[in-house]
Structure 1
Amino acid sequence: MEDIFHEIVKYPPSGYNKDGIYMYDDWTSISDIGKSFNGKIFSAKDYLRVENQYINTVLMIMSELDCKYLTIVYIEVNQNEMIHDIEMYEKKYGVNITGTFPNLKKGMRISRINIPNILRLCLRELCYIVFSCKSKKLELYFSYEYYLNIKCPINKSTLNEIVKKNNLYLDPRG
């Protein structure tokens, strides 16, 4: 089994040049809602569709590994700013996050049922968290430009199937 970091991206392999540079103008953040990319306005609906693709990918990987929870092994967050920004995103972009949020901290275990909202916080750049499920050798975090970095013992072909089912890609740059 391969146990290396993989990058999962929303960018199709055909968009990269031979030097591994993505050649198209594309959105990279929730703050891009309302902006034009390739002649089309990027909508909240488009944003939420892709956000859900990433969340479903993580949940499918957790299922494949029979991982019941993720633990926060590293976190950068300002709880007050996060709450303010959640409200601001709802007003500005019409995207919300329902439910209550615990005081996120290192060492906290997040169950599968609660992980989608915590992932949304990360994808919306409201906090930075590195998650782990040590017993299943799973580690993941989101980085800039909507990259999901994941280390897990799932073989590459199975991981690629999960990613494809969610209309995402294993980073073609390897």
Structure 2
Amino acid sequence: MRWRNHQIITGLAIYSITGGFISAGLAAVGAVLPDVLEVGGVIKHRTVTHWPYPYLLLASALYLWQWHNPSVLPYLLFFFVLGVVMHLLLDSLSNHGIPVGQSPSAGKRLSLNLYKTFTPSEEVTSAGLVVVFLATAYFRGLLSGEHIRLEVNLVVQLMGMLIGR
């Protein structure tokens, strides 16, 4: 899946669940990490960087850290890593899938074969997911002017704190 589709779908999915711009934005940034880690083709595409178990373990650890000791760092890291997990879920919908064996090179892959990257089937699948997550956000009231205004104010306040105003 193209990076833009990974980021749009992941951002919308997380927003439709949390209603938060920050969590959605962090997840959208994390949504390209598995491909970025391939270091310009040094690591073969959809191998070790797409093996889900380390990311799932890390996401679980961050969730437990946040649960037992609520603070900003585990919150931010959790949603970033959740973006990585969403990347893998979206790639598992493709014809090539993701490695799920005992090791990334074990040969076992998860593929639902809904689309092929760089074809119209990717765009149709992406559009369908966008509609699902937008509808979810709409019916949860997360697209209302009031909710969006509150989220924008929160982001502005946090940015002000970060730059010292």
Give the TM-score normalised by structure 1. 0.28
Structure whose alpha-carbon radius of gyration is higher: 2
Q: Decide which structure has greater helix share.
A: 2
Q: Decide which structure has greater strand share.
A: 1
